[in-house]
Amino acid sequence: MSLEISRSVREGVTILRLQGRLVAGEETTKLRDTVRDLAAEGVTNAVLDLEKVDYIDSTGLGGMVICFTTLRKAGGALKLLNLNRRNIELLLLTKLSTVFEVFRDEQEAVNSFFPDRALKPFDILQFVQENKEK
């Protein structure tokens, strides 16, 4: 299944909704190109909604890091939303949970770009423990 990416904007923050698998090849290239194009347009703050991404391989993770770096160099940030248990465990295993901010709620992800807004913290380890049986 190829990777589909749809784009919306909420309060000035771009939300990229991914559907499919984020794996080596055209899928990861498509994500990198999309984020590079955003930065070229002057869009520097984005959220990757990964709710409908069932699998991420090492190349996909690398692509996400490249996207993070692209927006950071442009003065912005890339944050993650709605990862499933397997993909959260992958972030923990690779220590990328220390790089990416992860959210379970879209409004919380958007709020994180505004320093004056209160945030309800997402405890990634607690999420894994609670969803261990699922």
| Residue 1 banded pLDDT, cuts 50, 70, 90 | low
Q: What is the pLDDT of residues 58-98, one digit of tens each?
A: 999 999 999 999 999 999 999 999 999 899 989 999 999 99
CATH architecture group of domain 4-129: 2-Layer Sandwich (3.30)
Mean pLDDT over the full length of the chain: 93
pTM (predicted TM-score): 0.91
Cα 26 versus chain centre, distance? 18
What percentage of the chain carries pLDDT values higher than 70? 98
CA-CA distances (angstroms) from residue 93 to 10, 30, 31, 128? 31, 25, 22, 12
Edge-first strand order for the sheet with 13-22 is 4-10, 13-22, 45-56, 77-81, 102-103
CB 127 within 8 A of CB 97: no
CA-CA distances (angstroms) from residue 105 to 4, 48, 50, 58, 126? 21, 12, 12, 25, 16
Q: pLDDT at residue 101 above 80?
A: yes
User: Once rounded to an integer, what is the mean pLDDT over residues 1-30?
Assistant: 96
| Residue 121 banded pLDDT, cuts 50, 70, 90 | confident
